[in-house]
Structure 1
Amino acid sequence: MEEYGFFLSFNELEDLFRLPVNPETLEIKESGDSKSYTIVDLGEINAIAYPKLTEITLESIFPAQHYPFVLVRSEGPNRLLRPFEYVEMIQKWMKSRRPIRFVLSGVSLKGEREDSSVPNDLALNMAMSIESFTWKLSAGTSGDVEYSLSLKKYVFYQASPVKIVKGQVKAEPKRASDKAAPKTYTMKAGDSLWSIAKKVLGDGQKYKVIQKLNGIKDSELKKLPIGKVLKLP
């Protein structure tokens, strides 16, 4: 048996939950950014531009009890959370100013919704920013939280290093990731500040930034011990 589930995750699955109650409707907005101009002796023309970022709106509830229509289990690692746990998690994501990941997926069910919290065949998987989150407690709902969540597609962007090959400029593509950059690094055998800067910051020349941040003297550069924890910019 299969059904569709809505999943929200943050920081490469550091946080993940399935919406306990599927929205009645999923509103997806796709629009262009064309502009019209009036040309002498020709009239109005339409200049087609790149499409705008996809917008998604979800409206549902975070239930305070395990109703028959709730899609997650009542206990266990994928248990139904308290309504305010969902609210606080979304608020935490918004304060991080980092994108989340929205997944609409087919879910295989075995027995008593054994796998109901695990995405199966992906139908939609998109990095998104949280544009707005409104929620309220309604009288007579036993503590259920009604909410509306507005998301907008997030496009990863960063400066890319380039190489000159036979007179042609070639950019080195980097894999986009919604995982937060590490704040510390523990030195291992064979490490140097240059190799750490190359690995973590993408540029070995930035070793001086790490050196200054950690108050390391030039005379100490070749004597850094294995296991030393370095702060990263």
Structure 2
Amino acid sequence: MSFLDEKTGKELVLPVTPSGYTWAHPNRVESIQLDQTGEINLPGGAMMGSCTLDNVLLPTRLYSFCNPGAVANPYVYLEQLEIWSDNGTVVRWMVSGTPVNAPVIIESIDQGERDGTNDLYITIRMKQYRKPEVPVLAVSGGGAQTSRDDGTGAAQERTYTIQSGDTLWGIAKKYYGSGTEYKRLAEANRDQIPNPNLIYPGQTIVIPAGDNLPQAGTDSPSVALADETKSTWDPATGTWNLTL
């Protein structure tokens, strides 16, 4: 295993290869509650990898199992690792013979001795690094607008086919960031959705650009009555009670 500072060309090969490692490759999963379906899980985007190398031996003598070119001075290695850690230097961590080759930041280093040999044992914690991406700004007229993903429905008009378990609230939240826009979305599809509380699988609706959402229409008597109706659960009788 080795670390490489690509800017300076400085490479540090560990004198003794650790007995093992685990490189975490996580992915964020977002849970959403749907009225009829219940909980569903959706991919929420990649997260950064991480690794902890435990019991890394920095020897004070050249054992037979030391890597070629090793130096019998543990503090040569410790000092360089601490410099990279203190400076927040992005280094490339590589494991020979494997696909592991990732830019990382060394988060912390623990050190200690054991067995009276003066050998140093360290634990290296590191996290993957990714260069921040700057949003692309497009200037139009007298102002600037941040470029958006066309697939969000907030940048330009598109259509959507309602799936089993969908609610208009959930669709509005997905495309506009707030479920409270569901009545405005219903107004944009008045010919398809006379009642925002009733949508059906297979319906194809328009998802207008965010700036083109119409104002919410006047609720029909049935919708207004449904909105005013309150439901409470009576555990003694095992029934729901509806009141206005």
Report the TM-score, using the length of structure 1 for normalisation.
0.54
- The 8 Å contact of residues 61 and 72 in structure 2, kept in 1 or not, is answered as no
Give 3-state SS (helix, strand or coil) of 2:95's partner. strand
Q: Tell me which residue corresponds to 1:71.
A: 67
Structure 1 residue 49: Cα displacement: 1.1
CA, structure 1 residues 104+139, in 2 after alignment: closer, same or farther (shift >3 Å)?
same
Segments of 5+ residues of structure 1 without an aligned counterpart are: 1-5, 74-78, 107-121, 171-233
Residue 139 (structure 1) aligned to one of 100, 107, 115: 115
Identical residues among aligned pairs (%): 21
Distance 1:32 1:161 in 2: 25
Matching residue of 2:57:
61
Are the counterparts in 2 of residues 7 and 104 from structure 1 also a CA contact under 8 Å?
yes
What code does the residue aligned with 1:125 have?
A: N
Task: Tell me if the contact between 1:10 and 1:99 (Cα under 8 Å) persists in the aligned partners.
Answer: yes
Q: CA RMSD in A?
A: 2.5
**Post-superposition offset of 1:14:** 3.5
Q: What is the Cα deviation at residue 128 of structure 1?
A: 0.5
- Aligned positions of 1:66-145 closer than 5 A: 66-73=62-69, 79-80=70-71, 82-106=73-97, 123-141=99-117, 143-145=118-120
4+ long deviations beyond 3 Å: 158-164
CA distance in 2, matches of 1:81, 1:90: 16
Specify the structure having the higher radius of gyration (Cα). Answer: 2
Do the aligned residues in 2 keep the contact of 1:72 with 1:80 (CA within 8 Å)?
no
Q: Per the alignment, do residues 128 and 145 of structure 1 end up closer, same or farther by CA in structure 2, a change over 3 Å counting?
A: same
Q: Which residue is equivalent to 2:28?
A: 33
Q: What is the 5 A alignment of 1:1-233?
A: 6-59=1-54, 60-73=56-69, 79-80=70-71, 82-106=73-97, 123-141=99-117, 143-157=118-132, 159=134
Would you say the 8 A contact 2:50–2:126 is kept in 1? yes
TM-score for the superposition, normalised by structure 2: 0.51
Q: How far 1:158 moved relative to its partner?
A: 5.1
